[in-house]
Structure 1
Amino acid sequence: MQERLVDRFGRVHDYLRISVTDRCNLRCLYCMPEEGMEFADADTLLSYDHIVSVVEAAAEMGVTKLRITGGEPLVRPGLDGFIRRLKAIPGIKDIALTTNGILLAKQAEALKAAGLDRVNVSLDTLDPARFHLIARRGELKRVMEGIEAAARCGLSPIKLNCVLLKGINEDEIAKFLKLAYEQPLHVRFIEYMPIGHADDNWRNHYLPLSRVLEEAEREGYRLTKKADVRGNGPSDDWQMDGGTGSFGLIHPVSDHFCKSCNRLRLTADGSVKPCLYWVDELNVKDALEDRRALKHLLLRAMDVKLENHEMAEKLANEALSHVPTDRRMSQIGG
């Protein structure tokens, strides 16, 4: 019988998130510092050939769903050809992409033709000036053009990832709800996570997502739970009665979803991370030429994966049972 990716707590892992680069054309304030970020040398990153080898091993162990992340994945050349290769791997049924959207308009059609199924676009504000405040560079107009291009070529459903930041964009919750009501989009509100840092900036700008439901009630929306939003994530999804789209809440701090975790992460520089929050990583580079060794490493990831993260405890200044990662989100793969 083929070995499956099941951890010590009975969680079945069928989902792999693959970072193809730690580089990004934005500098979002919750993801990385504006200046001084050190990026991995190109020759230290996994080649597409090597990533395909890892995915082939994972697929033989039950992984069926992939998400391509970064950094910003669209800054790495040849992504459409890479996706075409992933799509041809037996057992892989679904490939998604998370992007900031800046380069999406030019690449959407080629990505769809290569086999990409759907896309998540990071969008934390609908205001051009505030976009520059949060992202520190780039233009909101290009992101919106990317979303339109994705819709035209059938990358569906389109999900918009909005990280809520207290005192910065919480006043736009109603605008995003209106967007989800009027258009066939799925807006996902995400809590600000202390990945690679848990400083005063995080504490000062963290906002629990109960605020979204309060705003929806204030705006007069009638909500019903929605269970059929296509995807692999832990979103708590809602439909607004009479609306075209929907919205979801991803609240890893205020209400973690670890008991249903089904994912592993592969970093651009070649490490498997069992959990986004904790420091544990397993380097795959020495196992790349040996399928059995790769599978053994993936099974080891199951053995070291902890039952849950402790972001809420960190927010409350309580002692943690393990060591958090010091890598930024862009270095891990969001």
Structure 2
Amino acid sequence: MLIDTYGRIGTDLRVSLTDRCNLRCTYCMPEEGLAWLAKPELLTDDEIVRLIRIAVTDLGITEVRFTGGEPLLRPGLVGIVARCAALTPRPKLSLTTNGIGLARTAAALRDAGLDRVNVSLDTLRPRLFKKLTRRDRHHDVLAGLAAVREAGLAPVKINAVLMRGLNDDEAPDLLTWALEHGYHLRFIEQMPLDPQHGWQREQMVSAAEILERLSARFTLTPEEAGRRGSAPAERWLVDGGPVAVGVIASVTRPFCRTCDRTRLTADGQVRTCLFAREETDLRASLRSGASDQLIAELWRTATRGKKAGSGLDDPSFLQPQRPMSAIGG
């Protein structure tokens, strides 16, 4: 299994399928985009499936989340999902997406074996969406959400990032809307993973602020202790339940002690933490003919080097060289 020196066991694999995206969210990348990975640098579909197979059959991975960039831009996505769903033991398969393109792919992804979808949506206001993402695609995201729900890929989770002076007043409206549509809403503290390195802690809308704003309209009760496990979101029952709202407070309430995640970038690098500055190259070993056993051992060795925490509270903290779009959520 993937066990680090602090006794944490990796069972959740996040796989970035591409660093490209069809939005230009202000907190994620500049308007002109980034220098994308060249096609020869990307893992092929076969290489991705082989690494996931090794992770599942040899290393104890039980959950696989496909991310990006925007994973729906990966031409072979449906086939990758189908091949991973055929693995034994079968991992749980989910997708994190901006929702654009889901209207035409939700049914195919369900039929391929996808279990669940997370969709990023920061605002209910089309004009603000266009300002935040630099694209007029709000209607496409809503259509994608409707398609996912119709396809039965439940529960449908919504991820929202609040930004001071822009959409930080929308927290109660977002939760009201999510409750009306049967979506599970999670707010995420904005993290220092932008390529511009413009993130400032004092400008971040904290978990405490989010809960304060929600409490102006709803009664929030902390979920029963012990139910969180290794999940990144703290959850509060809304008006007595059974529905809950989550807050992922990576900055102000880090959950590193229970982290069970390992990450694979689109170019075949293992990352043990979202904020890691070190990577282990599996692509080179794949392409040089390494055995499954050798690749598994490289992955185990990388995991043993996993640090105790993200280091966000350390005065010497430095952002990782890769931005979020090149790491995967």
TM category, shorter: over 0.9
Deviation at 1:184, TM superposition (A): 1.6
Query: Cα gap change, 1:232/1:9 in structure 2, threshold over 3 Å: closer, same or farther?
Result: closer
| Aligned equivalent of 1:240 | 238
Query: Is residue 155 from structure 1 mapped to residue 153 from structure 2 by the alignment?
Result: yes
Q: State the SS of the aligned residue for 2:34.
A: coil
| Aligned equivalent of 1:130 | 128
Deviation at 1:293, TM superposition (A): 1.3
Query: Cα gap change, 1:226/1:218 in structure 2, threshold over 3 Å: closer, same or farther?
Result: same
Gap regions ≥5 residues in structure 2: none
| Aligned equivalent of 1:52 | 49
Q: Which amino acid aligns with 2:301?
A: R
**Rounded Cα–Cα distance in structure 2 between residues aligned with 1:92 and 1:163:** 32
**Rounded Cα–Cα distance in structure 2 between residues aligned with 1:62 and 1:291:** 14
Query: Cα gap change, 1:256/1:224 in structure 2, threshold over 3 Å: closer, same or farther?
Result: closer
Note the 1:167-316 alignment, pairs <5 A: 167-197=165-195, 199-203=197-201, 205-225=203-223, 233-241=231-239, 245-288=243-286, 289=289, 290-313=291-314
**Rounded Cα–Cα distance in structure 2 between residues aligned with 1:310 and 1:10:** 18
Deviation at 1:196, TM superposition (A): 4.8
| Aligned equivalent of 1:41 | 38
Q: Which amino acid aligns with 1:303?
A: R
**Rounded Cα–Cα distance in structure 1 between residues aligned with 2:275 and 2:47:** 25
Question: Is the 1:181–1:244 contact (alpha carbons within 8 Å) kept by the matching residues of 2?
Answer: no
Give the stretch that moved more between structures: 68-77 or 213-222. Answer: 213-222
| Aligned equivalent of 1:330 | 325
Deviation at 1:174, TM superposition (A): 1.1
Query: Cα gap change, 1:8/1:145 in structure 2, threshold over 3 Å: closer, same or farther?
Result: same
Q: State the SS of the aligned residue for 1:170.
A: coil
**Rounded Cα–Cα distance in structure 2 between residues aligned with 1:159 and 1:33:** 26
Normalised TM-score (structure 2): 0.93
Query: Is residue 14 from structure 1 mapped to residue 11 from structure 2 by the alignment?
Result: yes
Q: Percent identity?
A: 41
Q: State the SS of the aligned residue for 2:100.
A: coil
Q: Deviations 1:225-250 (Å, cap 9, x if unpaired)?
A: 16899997411012212667431000
**Rounded Cα–Cα distance in structure 1 between residues aligned with 2:248 and 2:178:** 16
| Aligned equivalent of 2:25 | 28
Give the stretch that moved more between structures: 196-205 or 141-150. Answer: 196-205
Question: Is the 1:119–1:156 contact (alpha carbons within 8 Å) kept by the matching residues of 2?
Answer: yes
Q: Deviations 1:20-69 (Å, cap 9, x if unpaired)?
A: 10001001111111115100111210011001111111112100100000
Normalised TM-score (structure 1): 0.92
CA RMSD of aligned residues (A): 2.1
Question: Is the 1:52–1:86 contact (alpha carbons within 8 Å) kept by the matching residues of 2?
Answer: yes
Q: Which amino acid aligns with 1:55?
A: I
Q: Which amino acid aligns with 2:216?
A: R
Q: State the SS of the aligned residue for 1:171.
A: coil
Q: State the SS of the aligned residue for 2:172.
A: helix
Q: Deviations 1:147-203 (Å, cap 9, x if unpaired)?
A: 000000110110000011111110101101212333321111001100255844444
Q: State the SS of the aligned residue for 1:278.
A: coil
**Rounded Cα–Cα distance in structure 2 between residues aligned with 1:143 and 1:227:** 34
Q: State the SS of the aligned residue for 2:313.
A: helix
Give the stretch that moved more between structures: 140-149 or 302-311. Answer: 302-311
Question: Is the 1:63–1:91 contact (alpha carbons within 8 Å) kept by the matching residues of 2?
Answer: no
Q: Which amino acid aligns with 1:326?
A: Q
Q: Deviations 1:290-318 (Å, cap 9, x if unpaired)?
A: 101111111111122101012234xxxx2
Q: State the SS of the aligned residue for 1:9.
A: coil
Question: Is the 1:14–1:262 contact (alpha carbons within 8 Å) kept by the matching residues of 2?
Answer: yes
Q: State the SS of the aligned residue for 2:3.
A: coil
Query: Cα gap change, 1:164/1:193 in structure 2, threshold over 3 Å: closer, same or farther?
Result: same
Question: Is the 2:16–2:66 contact (alpha carbons within 8 Å) kept by the matching residues of 1?
Answer: yes
Deviation at 1:70, TM superposition (A): 0.3
Q: State the SS of the aligned residue for 1:164.
A: coil
**Rounded Cα–Cα distance in structure 1 between residues aligned with 2:181 and 2:48:** 36
Question: Is the 2:17–2:74 contact (alpha carbons within 8 Å) kept by the matching residues of 1?
Answer: yes
Query: Cα gap change, 1:138/1:282 in structure 2, threshold over 3 Å: closer, same or farther?
Result: farther
Q: Deviations 1:187-223 (Å, cap 9, x if unpaired)?
A: 1100110025584444463111111211222114243
Q: Deviations 1:84-125 (Å, cap 9, x if unpaired)?
A: 001111123300000000111100000000000000000000
